[in-house]
Amino acid sequence: MRVLLATTDPIRLSFLMALLRDAGCEPMMLDGHISAIEGGIGIFPRRLAVPPEQEAQARRVLAEAGETDGLR
């Protein structure tokens, strides 16, 4: 998996995952279960990743949507 970004904003993460799915990518949220440990206070970022063969397409989709803040 290729990590595209990390964020503590669950709404943005959900939006970006939907955007990538609509474009035919298979995004995955990493570290999503950390909220059980942190108590839901949102201090640990969740990472958005895609399979290596979809990285270029995913980056293009995010750039076209103006979602470049925090991209790695």
Closest CA to 27 of 51, 44, 7, 5: 51
Note whether residue 71 is domain-resident.
no
Query: Whats the size of the chain, residue-wise?
Result: 72
For residue 46, the enclosing domain spans 2-64
Note whether residue 70 is domain-resident.
no
- pLDDT for 42 equals 73
Note whether residue 22 is domain-resident.
yes
- Note the pLDDT tens digit of each residue in 12-65: 999 999 999 999 999 999 998 886 677 767 788 999 999 999 999 999 999 999
Query: What's 39's domain CATH number?
Result: 3.30.70.790
Note whether residue 13 is domain-resident.
yes
Closest CA to 62 of 33, 8, 7, 35: 7
Q: Residue for token digits 């949102």?
A: 42
